[in-house]
Amino acid sequence: MHKERIRRVLSLCFIVLLWSPFSASNATEVTDYERARWDPIHFKPAIDNATDEQCLACHQEVLEPSVKPQSPAGVKATDALAWYQTLDVYSGDQETFHRRHLVTPLAKKLMNLKCNFCHQGNGPRDETPYPDTKGDGSYTLRKMVNPEETCLRCHGQFNYKIMTGLPGHWNDVREMMGNSCLSCHAIFRTERHQVNYLNADAIEAATKEKTADGKENSDICFGCHGGRAWYQLEFPYPRHAWKGQDPKVPDWAKDRPTESEERFRLPAKPVVEKVADKVVEKVADKPAAAAKADTAAKPAKSATDAKKASD
Amino acid sequence: METQQKDTAKIKEAIKRRKRVVYQPVVPDMQLGFVHHNVDCIGCRACEMACKDKNGLPPGPRFRRVQYVEGGTYPDVYAYKVNMSCNHCAQPACLPTCPTGAIWKHKENGVVDIDSTLCIGCRRCEAACPFGAPQFDPSDGLVKKCNLCIDELEAGRKPYCVAACMMRVLDVGPIDQIREGKFESKAIGPHDTTVRAIKNLANPNLTNPSIAFVPHSKAKVDI
């Protein structure tokens, strides 16, 4: 009886051992929905390096046109105008939010947005970015993204009260100002578009485009900045100074960052030549003896060496 | 026929002109809003169930959501709940984004309502809302949202979620009175004070949501 029991247990163990490699391989091969939800790509730090291709492998439906031709009550999409369709610079039918920010011709021309520009990870349980247990987790309750850190990088209230020489909201003074933002902003130009999520050169070129009758058109600027002011906040994005700007920071700009977050910065331009030039200038400015001492102390940084390096 | 076509074009042009310049949020006679006690809420989700039942929602969309917030390191650990539906904002972001006019704000009580039969499923409201209120229903491709059980309000009753709350930690009332501590409710204890923002809530200055919280000590923020 005892032997029989041992034999049964051993045969059961043998069957389990025999099947275990198959079950393990099945577990690794099959990515079911629940497994996919908890994939590391949905969390920090993997999401920081996630490519659009990786995201779209599962979420490709966000780029499919899904606006219905008509509502259940019979309102036709072609009869309804979305705000962006009232702009002179937009042409085309109604589009979804994702498509208008990623794949429509205007989006492709002016922007370079990636999925992880907005989506910084989320916890599947409550559909909010997952908090670590030690800190805040920097997540937004009941929202996949934080609008303050995404939408407001471009869209915000048109704060005309702080703009010198502007008598009212652009909606009211557009014609008075010749429908041209550049009549002022040709001088007051910040470096704001110099970020990796925008095509700065294309935006510059677009601002110079005129309407068919040769007039200036502010829609190219106002379409993003101030036009779609669904939120009551003004622009909290970094305030990059323009050339010749008063170094004194006005009250309304206090505590505003002066540089974009690291993840949005463009790769640094080659600086070897500039460094060399600066060293040349520095050495030339110094008295000969001081320059000599400086050169002796740091031979590799001498003007000649720097010049060689730049060559 | 020609005149009719001309009129259509004229109307469309007028809509275009008006739409690009005008968005003035409705200022209600009285703004209703929610109050939620973060600490006493046990997270039973009876409010969620009652809401889904009342609105006939399929699996997926949830007008009201109870969120479990947990954190800390032993022995300093904490857990509390945040319970939100549509916050019926003073300046709702969803409303002006809607191309068909399906969303509107009631003048008498500030409820932000939706007529989903006018929805074309563009989901712009869903993207614009900082609090995740508009819910896309994949079963019919339309967006729906909490309307504060407007029919119940008009009948002199409270919304289903409030009625279902067994802990009495959720209530609805004039948001000004709630914020000033003048609103009598079981959701606000005798020594409790309410706040308009808690940790990890989207900035309330975005749309001025009509909600107040009795915050957990770990949920307090300076706004």
Hey, what domains does chain B have and what are their CATH numbers? 26-90+148-219 (3.30.70.20)
Tokens describing residue A290: 């001081």
* CB pair distance less than 8 Å for A131 and B207: no
Residue A112's contacts (CB-CB under 8 Å, 6 or more residues apart) are A196, A197, A198, A199
* CB pair distance less than 8 Å for A73 and B128: no
Look at B14 and A107; give whichever has higher pLDDT. Answer: A107
Whether A277 has a pLDDT exceeding 80, the answer reads no
Cβ atoms of B131 and B67 closer than 8 Å? no
3-state percent breakdown (helix, strand, coil) of chain B, nearest 5: 25, 20, 50
| pLDDT band, very low/low/confident/very high, at A285 (cuts 50, 70, 90) | very low
Arithmetic mean of pLDDT, A113-117: 94
In this complex, the residue of B19, B82, B126 whose CB is nearest that of residue A83 is B19
Residue A107 Rama label (left phi>0; alpha psi -120 to 50; beta)? alpha
Residue B98: how many CA atoms within 13 Å on its side-chain side?
29
B139/A contact by beta carbon, under 8 A: no
The helix or strand, by DSSP H or E, that contains position B144, with its residue range, turns out to be strand B142-144
Q: How many whole angstroms separate alpha carbon A231 and alpha carbon A221?
A: 18
Q: Which of A71, A95, A159, A217 to mutate to test the interface with B (most CBs of B within 10 A)?
A: A71
Please write the tens of the pLDDT for every residue from A5-33.
Answer: 767 766 655 554 444 444 433 444 557 88
* CB pair distance less than 8 Å for A68 and B202: no
* CB pair distance less than 8 Å for B65 and A227: no
Please write the tens of the pLDDT for every residue from B40-57.
Answer: 999 999 999 999 999 999
* CB pair distance less than 8 Å for A142 and B84: yes
Please write the tens of the pLDDT for every residue from A202-253.
Answer: 998 888 888 777 777 888 888 888 777 789 888 777 777 777 777 788 888 8
Cβ atoms of A220 and A209 closer than 8 Å? yes
B202/A contact by beta carbon, under 8 A: yes
Angle between helix A272-285 and helix A288-297 axes, rounded to 10 deg: 140
Quickly tell me which residue has 């490519």 as its tokens.
Answer: A51
* CB pair distance less than 8 Å for B207 and A231: yes
Q: Which of B66, B70, B82, B100 to mutate to test the interface with A (most CBs of A within 10 A)?
A: B100
- Characterize the bridge pairing of strands B103-105 and B112-114: antiparallel
B130/A contact by beta carbon, under 8 A: yes
- Alpha-carbon torsion (A156, A161, A166, A170), positive or negative: positive
Arithmetic mean of pLDDT, A62-79: 92
Residues in chain B closer than 8 A to A232 (CB atoms): 91, 205-208
The whole model's pTM is what? 0.81
